[in-house]
Structure 1
């Protein structure tokens, strides 16, 4: 009978362990600000950009338009996002950050930076750079085009 490798014999196991920890730690930091990871990602996509059509946001994030609409509705209810008629086509809509939303993004980005520092700060700079290169190469190789929000 062929020996079956342990879970920990697979790189994917270790990648998932780290990914889960990093993701959950960041989600907890954002929860303290009443924002989800998905909401943060949408806000970050819009930060510094002109008002954008939900379909364009969906394309950039690799999400359905319906998922973007649900996220937008939650952010609109929180006063962080606004939905307006497109100036080019009054039938179309655009999404943009409100002034409070735009001001909130740098604070949330600082939480993302702090989470990275807490999770990866123990690594020497060269190892962090190598890990970043390896992960970006894997994303390209695997054809991943969605924004990780789960």
Structure 2
């Protein structure tokens, strides 16, 4: 059915502009962490584990808003890179927890600096008040929409 209603242009949508900025920020950061041998998803995993010290994969999956299968794949990759270790549960041989190795613990601060630098590249040109206002607006949308998943890519 044809209609005579005008069709909106891509650039009239705020979502379009959010994606333009988000994609640029994400792709730039992905290049930076790739040079350190990890993906953005692996960085998020390592950063979450850094705060937790040791955590069950199921709890990490819940905290990150990911499936257990996705956490399993990420943990396998990070285990192969010697960035995490698996610790058996002495009470239940089927259960284990995940923890950073010394190499993983040393990598997280370097990756965090890259995240800070990436943020600065995109947002330091904004006046401080505008940056705070943008942060408040985005956090308000997250809260209103009850968004919980951690962006990993």
**TM-score of Structure 1 vs Structure 2, range by shorter chain:** over 0.9
Equivalent residue, structure 1, for 2:113: 110
Deviations 1:13-38 (A, max 9, x none): 00010000000000000111111000
- C-alpha contact 2:53 2:100 (8 A) present in aligned 1: no
Higher strand share goes to which structure?
2
SS for the counterpart of 1:38 is helix
Distance between the aligned counterparts of 1:138 and 1:87, measured in 2?
44
Distance between the aligned counterparts of 2:89 and 2:148, measured in 1?
27
Equivalent residue, structure 2, for 1:2: 5
Deviations 1:43-98 (A, max 9, x none): 00010323100000000000000100100010111110001212453331100100
CA RMSD of aligned residues (A): 1.0
User: Which residues of structure 2 form unaligned runs of 5+?
Assistant: none
Distance between the aligned counterparts of 2:135 and 2:89, measured in 1?
38
Distance between the aligned counterparts of 1:50 and 1:43, measured in 2?
10
Equivalent residue, structure 1, for 2:143: 140
Distance between the aligned counterparts of 1:102 and 1:134, measured in 2?
33
TM-score norm. by structure 2 comes to 0.94
Deviates more, 1:78-87 or 1:55-64: 78-87
Based on CA coordinates, which of the two structures has the bigger radius of gyration? 2
Distance between the aligned counterparts of 2:90 and 2:42, measured in 1?
25
Residues 125 and 87 of structure 1: CA distance in aligned 2, closer, same or farther (over 3 Å): farther
Task: Please point out which of 57, 62, 71 is paired with 1:59.
Answer: 62
Distance between the aligned counterparts of 1:87 and 1:98, measured in 2?
20
Aligned residues: 150
